[in-house]
Amino acid sequence: MSVCAITGMGVASPIGIGIDDYWTACHAGISGIREIPHFDASRFGCRAAGVVAGLADSGSYRSEWQVHDRVTGLALTAAMDACTVSGINLDQVVGVAVGTGVGGVSTHESECRKWVTGQGRVHPGAILRVMCNAPAAQISSSLKVSGPSLTITTACAASLQAIGEAMLWVRDKRADAVVAGGAEAPLSEPLYAAWDSMRVLSRWKGHPGAACRPFSSDRSGLVLAEAAGFVVLEDDTKARARGATTLGHVIGYATNTSSQHLTAPSVERETEVMRAAIESAGLVPTDIDYVQAHGTGTVANDLAEAQAIRAVFGAHADRLPVSSVKSIIGHSLGAAGVLGLITAILALRHRIAPPTMNLDTPDPAIDLDCVPNHAQPLTRAKHALINAFGFGGSNAALVVSAG
């Protein structure tokens, strides 16, 4: 079996476009969550979201914004940046794997409004913009990929599963190089209203940047976000032969289902998926040096994940840094897993655990080191675990190692 190397990473997020800007904000705890700028959210319980700024002016694909949904523009920006960082010849990319939750919702909203109000004909390309596999299709087209092109739509677990499946392609020699990740642009008013009606959004009334409060005693819900992140995965031997810089390795992956309820978390299933990912990497729990948690900021999910982490790591959890980048980005649904992976790789490379912000009053029921409000050095920085748990019961965990 081949070893799966990460040779490139790209991101378009509320805290920065490109890895350098992303990490600068990430380890400093600078929030990208703000009041929603493009519709009036005053009637909702939460008015905050993670919004990507400056996207239309960045990257070589800005000219294509007029023909794509926002989710595809995010995906193209991050995917092509990852390829640039990797230095790979684009004709060497064999496969594409993308995770997303809801697809092209901004196009769906705008075209429905035209139809309902009689303001114009529905665009003939609307279906191609709305379909969930539009990001994967456009990336594949841009790279002229002829191998597998996969779209996974398992809600918040989607992009971590996409990377896990892509890792298996490389490991099993089905593909030498794969662009894998996820994208989400869920900030349309009707979809936001649907999330608000579920009563899972944060009820925070203070500054928007403090609305997402993972592991805090006063957490009240998640904050939606748009984002995209992609990595280039390659056969390690071939990557080294072409002189690529190895940023890290994907060495373990597991996925399972909490089938007893569509939204309630299962401590048992989350425990099982983390243990399985660690075992698939050939490691034991004490080998893990950092956990990038799912950490959404909801009452039930944070507690369940913390209990599962304690069950997996036992006494090792007393000295294991666990943090959630969602505290400054928000929850980007299908893109959340890949942002967790990118954060974990950067944490290992810089030997710094980024903070969980807004953690002023930790929940006493969560007995973990959640890196409150300030980054802390990693005394060991070899292996990290990333979690992603989605509505519908989809769970995924990934283990990465330093390059």
| Residues carrying an active site annotation | 156, 294, 331
Residue 43 · residue 189 · CB < 8 Å: no
**What's the sign of the alpha-carbon dihedral 226, 182, 86, 290?**
positive
The span from the CA of 380 to the CA of 249, in Å, is 16
Q: How far apart are CA 309 and CA 55, in angstroms?
A: 36
DSSP string, 88-150: --GGG--EEEEE-SS--HHHHHHHHHHHHHT-SPPPTTHHHHHSTTHHHHHHHHHHT--S-EE
Rounded to whole angstroms, how far apart are CA atoms 82 and 247? 12
Bridge partners, 347 (sequence order) = none
Map residue 331 onto helix, strand or coil.
strand
Q: How far is 106 from 91, CA to CA, in rounded Å?
A: 32
Provide the pairing of β-strand 177-184 with 149-152.
Answer: unpaired
In whole angstroms, what is the distance from residue 255 CA to residue 269 CA? Answer: 10
Contact present, 248 and 400 (Cβ < 8 Å): yes
Show the beta-strand stretches assigned E in 309-351.
Answer: 322-323
Measure Cα distances from 318 to 225, 384, 399 in Å: 31, 16, 20
Q: What does the alpha-carbon distance between residue 128 and residue 134 come to, in Å, rounded to a whole number?
A: 6
